Amino acid sequence: SQKIEQNSEALNIQEGKTATLTCNYTNYSPAYLQWYRQDPGRGPVFLLLIRENEKEKRKERLKVTFDTTLKQSLFHITASQPADSATYLCALGFQKLVFGTGTRLLVSP
Amino acid sequence: DTAVSQTPKYLVTQMGNDKSIKCEQNLGHDTMYWYKQDSKKFLKIMFSYNNKELIINETVPNRFSPKSPDKAHLNLHINSLELGDSAVYFCASSPSLIVAKNIQYFGAGTRLSVL
């Protein structure tokens, strides 16, 4: 069956460190993969989209990699700040997006 | 201006009642969606509409009936509410169904509690 798995345990890191979140998928062959951020009580907000022929995409302190052989995407936040604390969701699909369960990131000062 | 707005933000109601959630987007997008996020925070698509036409219906019970009077609005009506319908419902829109442009913009959510 198709699955999109993200680490369900919260990731706790110190301010200034790099946070790395993982998204693994099975039985999909996505051409695109997206990452969203969700804060408590709010809707997800789009962060980055990466295509299958792109190994890496950057936006300010964010970096996403996409390995279609490993069926994995990594999401990095460098120089993390407490304001980066949120749940991060990966999503993939064609006409419909299927979301992973999300990983909660907690950045302590 | 809020890009995707949905009302109400909170909805508390008794089992068996009928309720509606409204959604409007002012982004000029062609495609709109309803998602359900359950207590485990799993976000799952329910419906999508493109230019007022139903595109996706994810085997949602027919107690749920979406209606799109125009491409800027997508409302969700729920009949005979059940306890299991308690969740946060999100409306979203995207420029089109084309994947490269399928970045989704979400509303703030409607928290439905069925007692």
Assign A81 a pLDDT band (cuts: 50, 70, 90). Answer: very high
Average pLDDT value over all residues in chain A? 93
Confirm if A77 and A84 have CB atoms less than 8 A apart. yes
- Asked if residue A92 has pLDDT above 70, the reply is yes
> Is A10 within 8 Å of chain B by CB?
no
Q: Tell me the nearest-neighbour CA distance from A79 into chain B, angstroms.
A: 26
Chain B, 8 to 27: residues with Cβ < 8 Å from chain A are: none
Residue A72: CB partners within 8 Å, gap ≥ 6?
Answer: A22, A23, A24, A25
Closest-CA residue of chain A to B6: A43
Closest-CA residue of chain A to B90: A43
Q: Write b or e for each residue in A32-42: b if 16 or more Cβ atoms lie within 10 A of its Cβ, otherwise e.
A: bbbbbbbeeee
Cβ-defined contact of A98 to B45 (cutoff 8 Å): yes
- Asked if residue B111 has pLDDT above 80, the reply is yes
Pairing verdict, β A103-108 and A11-14: parallel
d(CA A107, CA A86): 9
* SS3 per residue for chain B: CCCEEEECCEEEECCCCCEEEEEEECCCCCEEEEEEECCCCCEEEEEEEECCEEEEECCCCCCEEEEEEECCEEEEEECCCCHHHCEEEEEEEECCCCHHHCCCEECCCEEEEEC
Interval A22-48: pLDDT, tens:
999 988 878 889 999 999 999 999 999
Q: What is the pLDDT of residue B101?
A: 65
Interval B21-60: pLDDT, tens:
999 999 999 999 999 999 888 899 999 999 889 988 888 8
Q: What is the pLDDT of residue B85?
A: 96
> Is A41 within 8 Å of chain B by CB?
yes
- Could you tell me what percent of chain A has a pLDDT over 70? 100
